[in-house]
A and B are shown apart, each in its own frame.
Chain A
Amino acid sequence: MAAAVPVQRGAAVGSSRIARSGAQARPAAAVRVSQRSVVTKAQQKREMMMWEALREGLDEEMERDPTVCLMGEDVGHYGGSYKVSNGLYKKYGDMRLLDTPICENGFLGMGVGAAMTGLRPIVEGMNMGFLLLAFNQISNNCGMLHYTSGGQFKVPMVIRGPGGVGRQLGAEHSQRLESYFQSIPGVQLVAVSTVANAKALLKSAIRSDNPIIFFEHVLLYNVKGEVHPGDYCQCLERAEMVREGTDVTIFCYSRMRYVVMQAVAELEKQGYNPEVIDLISLKPFDMETISKSIKKTRKAIIVEECMKTGGIGASLSAVIHESLFNELDHEVLRLSSQDVPTSYAYDLEAATIVQPEKVIEAVHKVCGVRAGV
């Protein structure tokens, strides 16, 4: 074990609010614009894959704040099973990039204990499904300690890892646990979908004083895109407008954003103009953005990879029906995964999750089939 890293206690994290409030994020954006004029052209084009963006965000935050550390299975010498911490142990040492034994319950609890003392641990679940072994720590400790201690303790930790249906990984490694976690009071759920938001949201999550469960998607690590320049953080509680439209609002998150956009490309040809919103924050929901959009389009479709029963879509649909009933011209449609374990077989797996054709059908159903389709 490397010697303890001397930590400058005074150098603890600055305001996590930078990440929080849109109002405060804006001045930072303004600074960015002025910086942009001086950066070189090469720096402007910052295209990379999502795993590289996450790694860069992690690296920047670890450099910025000595209390930030990453622990999990194979995060150090191996480099992370999806390369998110690739090579970082060489820079930060074995203590800040802590390779744990395979014991999710144990090391997640250890992360909670460390977070209670003021460290900012990021705990990587090699696969979201494995975190079920640590469910008690996430629910009873992570989520509720702040409340049960009457506000004395906070748990500033990030629990992150890949979830979602991959390519024939079998049922246990294709888990969508967001529905399991959504009813835990005190945790925030954030799902990333693009290279830009993956990095900017990870940075915000690390700076947040709340426990954040951070959903990456096993099939998105290699998508390419550009990251924001500079020390850019994105508000954890705000949904992202993907495409403005007028006919219907399609809510989605994580990989389903791409499935929806595939459908939208076809729908555009058919003359539809749907609005697409990436929820980002699965708990709490950004009701401001959601209700503004519904008041405009008066129709809502939810597309998720979560299960139909008790999923994120179930919660969101209930909220929309409860609070925006009079704004709706059509009942909310939910396109979710079938309530079955995820098959290994290719065709069965594909039939388990939502495909673009289903989104197109749903838009037809809600908006009516246009002439010529």
Chain B
Amino acid sequence: MLALAGGALRASLGARALAAGGASLRGYGTTLGVEGDVLTAEVNPFKTHRIDPPSTTVSATKAELLQYFRDLYRLRRMEISADMLYKAKAIRGFCHLYDGQEAVIVGLEAALNHKDSIITSYRDHATHVMRGGTVLEVIAELMGRTKGASKGKGGSMHMYRRQTNFFGGQGIVGAQVPLGAGLALAHQYKGEGGVAVAMYGDGAANQGQIFESFNMAALWDLPCIFVCENNHYGMGTAEWRAAKSPAFYTRGDYMPGMNCDGMDVLAVRQAFAYAKEYAVANGPIVLEMDTYRCPIVLEMDTYRYHGHSMSDPGSTYRTRDEISSIRQQRDPIEHVRKLLVDNGLAEASELKAIEKEVKAEIDGAIEEAKAAAHPEAKELWTNIYQDDLGMTLRGIESNHKHKYA
């Protein structure tokens, strides 16, 4: 009986595996028109849970669109360069690339400011740059140099920028989310406004501590935006093979949620502006709940072009067709390029010039990172405690004593 049931389960999984993956091919939204420098477009619809959606009609100026184009292209170029440096063995260890998902962080930063706090998972290179860090800091960190974001001591998964409230890069899947709730608690405690953003992936969405964090944040009305970056694969496990309900925006239960086209920077910006207003100020129209500030879950429907990490070719659990279809139909950079060029807001050559500038910046950063110093041996013993504690740390040989620092 059990064996039969197991067989039936496997058969049903097999059948679903042949069907399309979770990644959708919803294509770009539609342009409604241009007036002067302002473009108005209709983004793909938001799916919501216990909350009314924001308007799908969004506007952006030419300057904004050019900035988004530059940001998106800069992140893409940085990640592709990291890929090349990895293949050339200049970068070692773990390296998780963000290409494909750039619209999420660019749209987020377009809606929030640096008083808002962010904590994210190990796929953190782009977050560091969009929080005001430099490409040099990212590349140098990946190469383990002192000019890196964490002086070469953190690596790919541990970049931080305290002065702009970027609380890192966290290597344990899902473990950053309770910290995000703690950041939100601190926002509330200090009463200085702002919102905390706790980002995680569709794989992490099944971690128990995420639900613990949801519960506490909702219980205490913490100003927190939980962001599920759904790239549809937790390493190589498709979302529906890991989650009974892959509608991650509904998984806060009592907490409102919203699903948004995470490949469209304008949709993302709209979603975050709405979510922040909801989480910090008195919320807009709410269907089933009282109007008071409250955390919210945002699900970003996005896609990573690269494999999970450098050891993953990214093709054993999904088809090459799927990847190329998404590149052709939903690429976040090409989308903004089209918006600018098709609506006469910019010439193709103008965008090429931006690309050229960005390439030069990144090539320069790579050269500088390569020339940067490796950490000195004494750095092994620094940053363990806040100060020397008035004592020494014992090395592996009993007569070796090191000053803590």
Interface core residue of B213, B215, B382 (most chain A CB under 10 Å): B213
Residue on A with the closest CB to B153? Answer: A150
- The answer to whether B398 and A322 have CB atoms under 8 Å apart is yes
Cβ-neighbour of B175 out of A16, A118, A136, A188 (below 8 A): A136
The 0/1 profile, CB within 8 Å of A marked 1, for residues 23-65 of chain B is 0000000000000000000000000000000000000000000
A-B interface pairs (CB < 8 A), number: 176
18 A-B residue pairings within 8 Å (CB atoms) = A1-B220, A95-B188, A101-B215, A105-B209, A105-B212, A106-B212, A109-B179, A113-B186, A116-B167, A116-B183, A117-B117, A119-B190, A136-B175, A141-B170, A148-B155, A151-B382, A210-B386, A319-B398
| A347 interfacial by beta-carbon distance below 8 Å | no
| Contacts of B180-201 to chain A: CB distance below 8 A | 180-183, 185-186, 188-191, 196
Segment at the B interface, from A2-10, A256-264, A292-300, A363-371: A2-10
- The answer to whether A101 and B160 have CB atoms under 8 Å apart is no
In the complex, what residues of A have CB within 8 A of residue B183's CB? Answer: 113-114, 116-117
Instruction: Please report the C-alpha to C-alpha distance between residue A238 and residue B90 in the assembled complex, in whole angstroms.
Output: 45
- The answer to whether B393 and A284 have CB atoms under 8 Å apart is yes
- The answer to whether B386 and A146 have CB atoms under 8 Å apart is yes
| A268 interfacial by beta-carbon distance below 8 Å | no
Number of interface residues of B (CB under 8 A): 57
Instruction: Please report the C-alpha to C-alpha distance between residue A67 and residue B182 in the assembled complex, in whole angstroms.
Output: 14
| A103 interfacial by beta-carbon distance below 8 Å | yes
| A111 interfacial by beta-carbon distance below 8 Å | yes
In the complex, what residues of B have CB within 8 A of residue A164's CB? Answer: none
In the complex, what residues of B have CB within 8 A of residue A137's CB? Answer: 175, 178
- The answer to whether B216 and A106 have CB atoms under 8 Å apart is yes
Known contacts A137-B175, A141-B175: A148-B386 contact under CB 8 Å: no
In the complex, what residues of B have CB within 8 A of residue A145's CB? Answer: 168
Instruction: Please report the C-alpha to C-alpha distance between residue A57 and residue B212 in the assembled complex, in whole angstroms.
Output: 30
In the complex, what residues of A have CB within 8 A of residue B216's CB? Answer: 100-101, 103, 106-107, 110
Interface core residue of B180, B183, B384 (most chain A CB under 10 Å): B384
Cβ-neighbour of B390 out of A149, A209, A237 (below 8 A): A237
Counting chain A residues whose Cβ lies within 8 A of the other chain, the interface size class is 35 or more
Looking at the assembled complex, report how far the CB atom of B213 sits from the nearest CB atom of chain A, in whole angstroms: 5
- The answer to whether A95 and B175 have CB atoms under 8 Å apart is no
Instruction: Please report the C-alpha to C-alpha distance between residue A111 and residue B186 in the assembled complex, in whole angstroms.
Output: 10
- The answer to whether B389 and A20 have CB atoms under 8 Å apart is yes
Instruction: Please report the C-alpha to C-alpha distance between residue A340 and residue B151 in the assembled complex, in whole angstroms.
Output: 44
- The answer to whether B149 and A110 have CB atoms under 8 Å apart is no
The 0/1 profile, CB within 8 Å of A marked 1, for residues 391-405 of chain B is 111100011000000
- The answer to whether A319 and B394 have CB atoms under 8 Å apart is yes
- The answer to whether A323 and B399 have CB atoms under 8 Å apart is yes
| A185 interfacial by beta-carbon distance below 8 Å | yes
| B283 interfacial by beta-carbon distance below 8 Å | no
| B259 interfacial by beta-carbon distance below 8 Å | no
Give 6 closest A-B pairs by Cβ, nearest first: A113-B182, A109-B178, A106-B212, A113-B179, A150-B151, A103-B212
- The answer to whether A152 and B398 have CB atoms under 8 Å apart is no
In the complex, what residues of B have CB within 8 A of residue A101's CB? Answer: 212, 215-216, 219
| Contacts of B134-184 to chain A: CB distance below 8 A | 148-155, 158, 160-162, 167-168, 170-172, 175, 177-183
